[in-house]
Structure 1
Amino acid sequence: MECCNQKKFDRMKPFIAVVFLQFGFAGMDVLSKAALNKGMSNYVLVVYRHVVAFVVIAPFALILEKKVRPKMTLSIFLKLVALSTLEPVIDQNLYFLGMNYTTATFAVTMINVLPAITFVMACILKLEKIKMKSVHSQAKVVGTLATVGGAMIMTLLRGPIVNIFGTHGNSVQIQHSSGANLQHVIKGSIMITIGCFSCACFMILQTITLETYPAELSLTAWICLLGTIEGGIVALIMERNDYSVWSLNWDTKLLAAVYSGIVCSGMAYYIQGVVMRYRGPVFVTTFNPLCMVIVAIMSSIFLAEKIYLGRVIGAVVIIFGLYLVVWGKSKDYDTPSSINKDEALPVKESAESNDKEESPKYEGTTSSNFVAVDRDEQV
């Protein structure tokens, strides 16, 4: 009984890990939006975020992976540089810029195109299998198209305001906190979409890098260190006329930097790496809609953001498409029994060969019996 419970828990570990990540990302979105509303530079936030992440993760990497950390090579280092450019510099800066033009709810909903982008790239690189005659593969394709269509609906369709959580307040204040005209919405959505492409490339490259550098903590520490250096250069260039943006006080800005650094950079890169080694990059990104729901609730309550009917419709379409993708991918992980059978067959074959060596006079009967057993198993 305990063995069965342990196996169930082991199967649930990837799901628990990615759900935990979505709760962490939801808290980051709300805190980051609050910090940006108070005038914090998104470039500075990215730098401080990875400074905190490196300080927290580096000691664990040095101690726990001292014996298993592979030797650094030029090829691995170039991959690390590319990883630190794709996610800490390009994706996060564009994501926060897009959030600044729109709202936290809109930004996290636009991120839902990430699974579709990752899925397409994984298919191109042959990390994801597609057979158009299979119903599961058709569900993956239809779900991908629905995800992109839902994102377009959220971008172009607004409609009336929906007071889902009954958060009524000063209309002037709400308009000031979430009032973004169509031009800003389109500009922010373009930035977030480009960031999604960068994040998808990061997921794919991280999966490939872990094959030659299977040390998740050390990989995370390197990404955070190089991301700090590269992000610092970008921040110094973009904020060269105002060095006061680097100052921090005991307020939301500091909390956003510390929280996002520990949870959404340090822990997230590590957990993503561990899960992707066994489930692939598409699995990690398919749980983004959960983050959208959490952020919508939290931002509506704490940031008094409006929720429009168009965004609700687009969100429903996105969730429908994503769960089609998840259902289509379920076949990829529904074959543990077949794997066990394949692992058991060589044992039977070896036992059969031993019996043949010990008693050759029963060779014909033994082989026929195994053929019969194999046919029964196939039936």
Structure 2
Amino acid sequence: MEGMQPYLIVILVQAIYGVMYLLTKVALNHGMNSFVFVFYRQVIATVVLVPIAIIFKGKDALKVSPAVFLKMFMLSLFGITGALNLYGVGLRYTSSTLGAASFNTLPAMTFLLGVLLRMEVVKLKSLSGTAKIVGIVVCLGGAMTYAFYKGPRLLSWSHHDSVARKDSQHSNNTWITGTFILLCGNILWSLWTVLQGRVLKEYPSKLLFTAMQCFLSAIQSFFVAIAFEHDFSPWKLGFDVGLLAVAYCGIVVTSITFYLQAWVIEEKGPVFLAMFTPLSLVINVILSMFLLGEAITLGSVCGAVLLVCGLYIVLWGKNKEAGRSEIHQERQMTVLESTASEVV
């Protein structure tokens, strides 16, 4: 049973994300302002994480140099505040299914940004390097298919058919814009993923790093929300789906999922976690069809297939390259050991 734990936990993580897309979309459909939603989400995450960080790290939690603090502030600004707000706007214009599908472009975008920033190397003459480039192109092709082609309906839940028609009509006018906004949010999130590795070298505690970014993002999100929403009536939270979505994203997604993902990466590595990313899309498609009446179209199926295939091609290339690097290091160690024995 212990051998099954990583599989069960990674499935749970993707299920949590699948529900997150659905709850966020429902809250936005019921009139909740997307900028206010991000603010409350980050406030709850801060309330949960900061006390935990102080309890476990004590006085070290307050020891941050001005230079590192500035880097954290900038990372929070574009990587969390910017990305989440763009995601909220894009989700309002599209669907929870597209939001889940766009998440599959993150590994490809992260790799592409790593190449542009010279943090990743692409060997075009190698099979792994070619695979990563092909995977990126296929991922982008899947996103474009989602944006520009819907096609005939393949499946829909008749009980919510009127709601589905309403959402479809709304999406036809804004779908392309929403897709572009979602991709911009993913670019910011990928850039945050690439750059935070450098900051973690100066501030290695992941718990404190996450708590501090949530705190800074809550402050930034407040000013963003104030700038876009001058009326304070949308700020009122009632006992409805808006409060449920905010609490779920702030507590379950930011706090619990962070720990679970860290545990999976430590046990099985980041590639293992990334390989299960499409599962959140599958879960969201099923939930959205039955609960929101979102129809499954030919375009969404083709786009999802391309996104998932592109993701696995990129992961295969990175895994192949990592394996080759390990073999090369082992050979170097063998040569050094044999040389040392000859000297002795």
Q: Deviations over 1:66-116 (max 9, x none)?
A: 477694112211111112112332111111111111111122223332222
2:238 maps to 249
**Aligned counterpart in structure 1 of residue 149 of structure 2, from 154, 157, 171:** 157
**Aligned counterpart in structure 1 of residue 218 of structure 2, from 228, 233, 243:** 228
Q: Deviations over 1:20-70 (max 9, x none)?
A: 443222111111111111111111111111111111111221122347769
CA contact (8 A) 2:160 2:293 kept: no
CA pair 211-305 structure 1, distance change in 2 beyond 3 A: same
Q: Distance in 1 between matches of 2:266 and 2:112?
A: 19
Q: Distance in 2 between matches of 1:308 and 1:150?
A: 14
- In the alignment, structure 1 segments of 5+ residues that lack a partner are 353-366, 371-379
Aligned residues: 343
1:182 maps to 172
Q: Does 1:218 align with 2:208?
A: yes
CA contact (8 A) 2:105 2:311 kept: no
Equivalent runs, 1:1-379 vs 2, <5 Å: 19-66=11-58, 71-163=63-155, 167-240=157-230, 242-268=231-257, 287-334=276-323, 352=341, 367=342
The TM-score normalised by the length of structure 1 is 0.80
Measured on the aligned residues, the alpha-carbon RMSD in Å equals 3.2
Counterpart amino acid of 1:125? L
Alpha-carbon shift at residue 142 of structure 1 (Å):
0.5
Higher RCO (CA 8 Å, separation ≥ 6 residues): 2
CA pair 68-170 structure 1, distance change in 2 beyond 3 A: closer
Counterpart amino acid of 2:239? W
CA pair 98-17 structure 1, distance change in 2 beyond 3 A: same
Q: Distance in 1 between matches of 2:65 and 2:266?
A: 21
Counterpart amino acid of 2:254? S
Q: Distance in 2 between matches of 1:162 and 1:154?
A: 15
Q: Deviations over 1:183-238 (max 9, x none)?
A: 30011111111111111111112222111111011011111111110100111121
Find the residue that maps to 1:128 and give its secondary structure: coil
Q: Distance in 1 between matches of 2:126 and 2:103?
A: 28
CA pair 238-70 structure 1, distance change in 2 beyond 3 A: closer
Q: Distance in 1 between matches of 2:227 and 2:196?
A: 28
CA contact (8 A) 1:155 1:185 kept: yes
- In the alignment, structure 2 segments of 5+ residues that lack a partner are none
Counterpart amino acid of 1:250? F
Larger radius of gyration: 1
Q: Distance in 1 between matches of 2:62 and 2:11?
A: 30
Counterpart amino acid of 1:147? C
